Amino acid sequence: MMESSGRKIIHVDMDAFFASVEQRDAPALRGKPVAVGHEAARGVVAAASYEARKFGVRSALPSVTALRRCPDLIFVPPRFAVYKEVSRQIHAIFAEYTDLIQPLSLDEAYLDVTANRRDLPTAWATAKEIRARILEETGLTASAGVSYNKFLAKLASDQRKPNGQFAVTPDMGAAWVETLPVSRFHGVGPVTAAKMRRLGIETGADLRDKPLEFLQANFGSSADWYFAIARGIDHRPVNPNRERKSSGSETTFDRDLTLDAEIEAGVLGQADDVWGWCERMQGFGRTVTVKVKYGDFQQITRSRSHSSVVDSRALLREASLMLIRSVLPTQRGIRLVGVTVSNFEHREPRTETLPLFDEAVV
Ligand SMILES: [Mg+2]
């Protein structure tokens, strides 16, 4: 089962990115609990400084709740133009080491340094040098994970945060994965994690113990992925400069649905998923498409292009609901729903609804 590709992958992740940029530029904020976001009634925390995280303040938390947890919390409105400039700087540094760079968001990227431009002896040394360069040029710290595939490198970058790095070598990868909670795995969101818990799967070891047939019966097309990552296996290449033309998310229900409320809830869940991606990538589209697959596998799509980009979670939810409602009520059971955003333009989202920006809480 050991992967023997001999690849060297680094996942670089800036530490508490937006909040660190604000603390860098305003010395009065240093050492203080800072939340990037708006304090307004419906505001949401976009990013939290490490001082704020000690109080349980994290991204996607409503501002009201954040203030209750940390009364001294200082709110700072986001400055996307500055974050984008720093993002451009760190990508210029990456490009000095490899062409194989795959950005995941403004502050995170995979680098394939199997053949690196500087002829550094190891990926570990390369990661160290890149982090030092980032600190020197931006005044900000980054953490890095070094491993033989993307799945492990991303997990590893969380391990020594902030301002640290961690390597997962081929001889330790599978055993290390077994010790981790599945909720940390890429592709296991809160809903899947809860489902896994109901099935008795809490750790990588629990996941590894489940036969492929069991995973297929419970997780459909995701079974192969879960089976592989439970063994530390991930063959996905680092995809450089991948220009996404669209972003979509779909879900297959446990059973075919006919109730409007259940179907609409499914669509809203997918809209939220897609919105999370739009925010992380700062990519916003004008066209929203809802896909429906019936129990008999017949598939239809409903689509609408807006005059300007869909730039808030509320708008995307509203557009998705309108589209699904055009096929409701239904007598035929619905097996799957999906939401896709396309026709991208680059612009900043409305700031009143800004969750899910920063990295997972350490
Ligand atoms: Mg980060």
Tell how far the Cα of 357 is from the centroid of ligand 1, in angstroms. 9
Q: Is the pLDDT of residue 356 over 50?
A: no
pLDDT above 60 for 347: no
Place of tokens 């459909």: 220
- Condensed to tens digits (0 to 9), the pLDDT of residues 262-272 reads 999 999 999 99
pLDDT at residue 221 in the model:
80
Q: Could you count the other beta carbons within 10 Å of the beta carbon of residue 74?
A: 18
Q: Catalytic residue among 3, 51, 108, 250, which?
A: 108
pTM over 0.85: no
User: CA 168, 273, 181 angle in degrees (round to 5)?
Assistant: 35
Q: What spacing in Å lies between the alpha carbon of 189 and ligand 1's midpoint?
A: 18
Is 108 assigned a catalytic role? yes
Task: Please state the rounded mean pLDDT for residues 155-180.
Answer: 96
End-to-end CA distance of the chain: 30
Segments in 42-79 forming alpha helices (H): 50-53, 63-69
Q: What is the CA radius of gyration of the chain?
A: 21
Do residues 267 and 301 make contact, with C-beta atoms less than 8 angstroms apart?
A: no
Rounded CA-CA distance 353/42 in Å is: 8
DSSP 109: E
| Count of residues making up the chain | 362
**Apex CA 72: angle with CA 68 and CA 75, to 5°?**
90
Distance 336 CA to ligand 1 centre (A): 33
Distance CA 216, CA 226 (A): 10
Strands 34-37 and 74-76: parallel
Alpha carbon of 154 to ligand 1 centroid (Å): 11
Ligand 1 mean position, distance from CA 182 (Å):
20
pLDDT tens-digit series, residues 312-343: 899 999 999 999 999 999 999 999 999 999 88
What is residue 105's predicted lDDT score, i.e. its pLDDT?
86
* Token pair 């059973």 in the structure block, residue: 255
18 Cα to the center of ligand 1, angstroms: 8
- Joined together, the tokens standing for residue 94 give 């990456």
* Domains, the chain, with CATH or none: 9-16+81-167 (3.30.70.270), 17-78 (3.40.1170.60), 181-229 (1.10.150.20), 246-345 (3.30.1490.100)
pLDDT tens column, 209-251: 999 999 999 988 889 999 999 999 999 899 886 666 778 888 8
Say what percent of the chain tops pLDDT 70.
93
> Cα(149)–Cα(160) distance, rounded to whole angstroms?
18
Distances (CA, A) of 230 to 17, 146, 180, 301: 29, 18, 10, 35
From the list 38, 4, 3, 1, the residue with the least C-alpha distance to 18 is: 38
Kindly give the distance from the C-alpha atom of residue 178 to the centroid of ligand 1, in angstroms, as a whole number. Answer: 24
Q: Which residues are placed with Cβ below 5 angstroms of ligand 1, an ion? A: 13-14, 17, 107, 359
